[in-house]
């Protein structure tokens, strides 16, 4: 499965801890991330990550393009709801595309935990039928 990992600045520490906690699961999948998030994941967990541009510089939109082309199977986006983002329209567009294409999306650690456990159990295997991936 192709998994997008994204975190706003104040949530990046949480995302790193989350990826470390579930590293054995993430190791079995292809990881994608916005620029700064991806750099931190690679540096602090050693996992390979395909990095897009930084979120404010178009990274959210690049991930949105993957979603629109059925190339993203799961999105874990640790949003910061208490800080205004200069690229808020991009954030909204990414979330909207997840809804358009029925891509499982978590916007906080609580829901991310449920999705990752579902991923491990095979609950998201139906995505393989859509995109032909294994
Ligand atoms: O801003 C972001 C998502 O909207 C995240 O971008 P970075 O990973 O480059 O900080």
Per-residue model confidence (pLDDT) at position 134: 47
Backbone angles phi, psi at 7, to 5 degrees: -145, 135
Backbone angles phi, psi at 59, to 5 degrees: -60, -40
| Nearest one of 89, 101, 96, 91 to 126, comparing CA atoms | 101
Per-residue model confidence (pLDDT) at position 105: 98
Per-residue model confidence (pLDDT) at position 133: 52
ipTM of this model? 0.98
d(CA 119, CA 76): 12
Among protein residues, the one whose CA lies closest to atom 5 of ligand 1: 55
Q: Which atom number of ligand 1 is nearest to the Cα of residue 7?
A: 5
Which of 39, 57, 59 has most ligand 1 atoms within 8 Å of CB, for mutation? 59
Per-residue model confidence (pLDDT) at position 129: 83
Specify the residue for token string 């859509």: 130
Tell me which of 3.40.50.1380, 3.40.50.1820, 1.10.1280.10, 3.40.190.10 is the CATH number of domain 2-6+22-73+85-131.
3.40.50.1380
Alpha carbon of 49 to ligand 1 centroid (Å): 14
d(CA 82, CA 105): 19
Q: Is 73 noted as a catalytic residue in this protein?
A: no
Alpha carbon of 85 to ligand 1 centroid (Å): 10
Q: From first to last of the 134 residues of the chain, give the pLDDT tens digit.
A: 999 999 999 999 999 999 999 999 999 999 999 999 999 999 999 999 999 999 999 999 999 999 999 999 999 999 999 999 999 999 999 999 999 999 999 999 999 999 999 999 999 999 988 776 54
Q: Tell me the domain boundaries of the chain.
A: 2-6+22-73+85-131
Among residues 9, 13, 60, 99, which one is catalytic?
60
């Amino acid at each position: 499965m192709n998994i997008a990992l994204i975190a706003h600045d104040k949530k990046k520490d949480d995302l790193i801890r989350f990826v470390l906690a579930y590293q054995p699961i993430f190791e079995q999948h292809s990881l994608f991330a916005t620029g700064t998030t991806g750099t931190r994941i690679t540096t602090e967990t050693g996992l390979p990550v395909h990095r897009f541009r930084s979120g404010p510089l178009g990274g959210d939109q690049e991930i949105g393009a993957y979603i629109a082309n059925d190339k993203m199977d799961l999105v874990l986006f640790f949003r910061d709801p208490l800080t205004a983002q200069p690229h808020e329209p991009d954030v909204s567009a990414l979330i909207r595309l997840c809804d358009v294409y029925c891509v499982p999306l978590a916007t906080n650690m609580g829901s991310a935990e449920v999705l990752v456990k579902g991923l491990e159990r095979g609950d998201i295997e139906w995505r393989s039928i859509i995109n032909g991936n294994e």
